[in-house]
A and B are shown apart, each in its own frame.
Chain A
């Protein structure tokens, strides 16, 4: 069964460093998303991406964050200058369409900012 894959599974970085989290969405999907989940808290929407541009973003997704689809398969989330509070599990998801379409989630990347 096709799945969303994320790499790395765990990323450790120093505060102030840039990190890039990588995702390979399901191949025929057109909509891509990033979510984060701080330990012990609920999942929070960051951004949705369609047709090579951001379609929606939350208040969390500030200028420190950016997303890119550099080629036909990868979808990346970049955090320019990490802060301690960026430590969280980051989930990538993809869907064929919107509305009632299922969003399929990857297993996540645990980001630890020291």
Chain B
């Protein structure tokens, strides 16, 4: 059973437009929820980290939200740029320093 489910699997958006990516997680006890950006052939890069007491956190044009009651998170990308084309991975940090990764939302930004 997947511990972290993400949707949509992939999407194509026009440069300059906004988009929202969804994540549902099931693992508990929950410690924090993370979003990573992974460019093709590269390692993941951390975008945001939220504890259960936080419901929103921003990093530039990226804004993550968290609803710990429903175990849902979203990542909103504002005014997308071509360099935003990547896989966005939702990660549940649980237990003693373990990460459970989602399969990622593949975003393609086109001019």
Residue ranges of A at the interface with B (Cβ–Cβ < 8 Å)? 4, 31, 35, 41-45, 48, 55-56, 58, 91, 93, 98-100, 102-108
Rounded to whole Å, the gap between the CB of B109 and the closest CB of chain A is 21
**Residue B66, interface by CB 8 Å:** no
Cβ–Cβ contact B43 & A91, under 8 A: yes
Cβ–Cβ contact A100 & B32, under 8 A: yes
Assign chain B's interface to a size class.
20 to 34
The CA-CA distance from A48 to B89 in the complex, in Å, is 20
Cβ–Cβ contact B44 & A56, under 8 A: no
Cβ–Cβ contact A45 & B99, under 8 A: yes
Residue ranges of B at the interface with A (Cβ–Cβ < 8 Å)? 31-32, 41-46, 49, 51, 89, 95-104
A-B contact count (CB 8 A): 52
Known contacts A45-B100, A91-B43, A93-B43; 10 further A-B pairs (Cβ under 8 A): A43-B44, A43-B99, A45-B98, A45-B101, A58-B98, A99-B32, A104-B46, A105-B44, A106-B43, A108-B42
The interface residues of chain A lying within 8 Å CB-to-CB of B51 are 100
The CA-CA distance from A90 to B99 in the complex, in Å, is 15
Among all A-B residue pairs, the 6 with the closest Cβ atoms: A105-B43, A43-B101, A98-B97, A42-B103, A102-B46, A42-B101
The CA-CA distance from A107 to B41 in the complex, in Å, is 7
